[in-house]
Amino acid sequence: MRNKKFTDGVKGLFNSVSEDGKFSGKMAALFGVILVSVASIIACIITLAGQLSEKDHLIAEVTTTQENQTTTTAAVSETTQVTEPVVTTAISEFKLSTPMVNQMDYEKVIESEDAKVTGNLNVLNERPGFSGSGYVSGFTQNGNEMIQFSFDIPASQHYDVSVCFASDAVSNNQVYINGDKLFDFKCTEETLGQFVVKTYYGVYLNQGKAILSVHSCDGGFDVDYMKVQNNKSVYEDKSGISPDPVNPNASEQTRDLLRYLTQNYGVNIITGQYASDTTNTELEEIKNVTSNYPAIRFGDMNTYSVNQPGNDDEVAAAAKWAENGGIVGYIWHWKAPMHQPEVYAEKTDFSVEKARTDIDIVNLSIAEIEDLWHQGMISEECVAMVRDIDLVSAKLQELERLNIPVLWRPLQEGSGKWFWWGAGGADNYKWLWNFLYRRQTEYHKLNNLIWIWNGQGSDCYVDESTFDIASVDIYDENADNTSYYKQYQWLDSLTGKRKMIALSECGNLPDIELSFRDRAVWSFFGLWYGDYILDEHKELSEKYNSRDSLVKIYNSDRTITLDKYKNRVVEPPVEEQSDPSDAETQELPDES
């Protein structure tokens, strides 16, 4: 750019000459010199302008190159904005080290009359069925009575802890270990008046002295003995579970996924997170905090109902997740197909009992089913139920057409009775499960589903030929630093160790180290949304799960995240455990 002060001076000079109107020789000579000077100056200016133009062009080229390479140099610092490189702190992989367990046989029974007694307790021998020389009696409600049993634990391993007791009234009392509550034991209507044994399975005890104590809550019970015995079932091999789906017509993609789950079972835990909506905010925050995405995105089919129709956004979100290489999972908070569109039994009048029929309508069209209704052979509730199943099946078929397998978990928590599908009792629940399974696999030919049973109670246990994986939902505000091994052992025993076991919902993440120590190696976990993961600002909430625990589990060498799943590599166990002993037959662990 030319200098404004210089051009104004040249203009003033010519104006003054013109105004004078006279040319002397001297002036002419002077004027000639001036013209030559001006011409030289103009030539210099033109040259300088060309150089400046060339420099501007070079700067533009460098700047463009640097923008493409996301770098800057000092040579163009006057004309470009220097951006500091983003420095991210790398998160190290957490190497899991499970303790080697050299199993040692151990069985010790301590009679209550030989234990340390606190409070006004007496040794009696009036009730039949006791062992030893008697039993201890005199527990009162919320009293200070207590019996302490001292065991010398020979090795750090898993044990079963049993208490033998009796009561003439329904009551609930507690067992503690080293000052911490271990479990409740209850006398029920069915066991009144007789000695019964309550066993807590698979508790890990360190070598040394363990003080087990019986405390009174409701009182009114007698204690015969306590027993500690080494647990053998915890160490059983999990490689015998079949990788074949229960649906013989399952697609190849579905078989591949189930095969992968089976190969990982007992070796790695697959990560999962529930998305509250299609924006995947929860999953994005996990990536932001841990540098990893979960392998499984769990959605909800709750908007697909005749009684409350939804939209296609949810299926589209699942399809996009699968396209990015992830696993798709679905729960179905099935809103009642008639009356009030609610999932909770207390908020709707819909009843499975009214919808149930003995007529085999599984493979009939909806028109044929409606015709039976008009004939008075089935109820309107039955027709509405089938319509909803058909509607949600159509949405699942959209994923099947894209060759996307689905971890399918309908009719969850049936024994809890808070959902309408469980409120009608176990028989109605099992009928509905069987109907749903057959309608979707036989009539709709949905061959992309991996069926997950989550009845949450032995009373609702369905036919094993209708589900691939058994799971449990656990919400426990006092669940820090736990593997949930008690619930794992219960479900593993209920299924006869023939099914993979999953933690389908949780509020607190399991402790990864304890999960492997206790052999509660869940197939996968699914952390619920809300303040279990996000606060009101849509940022990480540490109300239930700390940042450290989230980072640890998502960066463990024994968990599967999205990137690891894409690689489809099953890592071998870090350490080989000692050979398991032959398992003994045990009573089914309590499901509480």
- Is 24 a residue whose pLDDT tops 50? no
Task: Please tell me the predicted confidence (pLDDT) of residue 410.
Answer: 98
User: If pLDDT is split at 50, 70 and 90, which confidence band does 40 have?
Assistant: low
Across 77-97, average pLDDT: 55
Cβ within 8 Å of residue 480, ≥6 positions away: 508
How confident is the model at residue 49, as a pLDDT? Answer: 46
Q: Are strands 146-153 and 525-527 parallel, antiparallel or unpaired?
A: unpaired
Q: What is the dihedral of CA 28, 32, 38, 43, to 10 degrees?
A: 160
Nearest to 328 by CA among 249, 275, 401: 275
Question: Comparing 109 with 232, which gets the higher pLDDT?
Answer: 109
E strand or H helix that includes residue 457: none
Query: Band of the pLDDT at 472, cuts 50, 70, 90?
Result: very high
CB–CB of 405/251 below 8 Å? yes
Least Cα distance to 350 among 315, 325, 382 occurs for 382
pTM: 0.78
- Tell me the three state secondary structure of residue 494: helix
Per-residue pLDDT for 58 more than 70? Answer: no
* Alpha-helix runs per DSSP H in 265-365: 281-290, 313-323, 352-355
| Residue 214 predicted with pLDDT over 80 | yes
Q: What band does 139 get if pLDDT is binned at 50, 70 and 90?
A: very high
CA distance 452 to 437: 11
Two tokens, residue 456: 């949450």
Lowest pLDDT segment from 72-81, 183-192, 212-221, 583-592: 72-81
pLDDT of residue 238: 80
Tens of pLDDT, residues 490-531: 999 999 999 999 999 999 999 999 999 999 999 999 999 999
Residue 50 tokens read as 């060309």
**Other beta carbons less than 10 A from residue 323's beta carbon:** 10
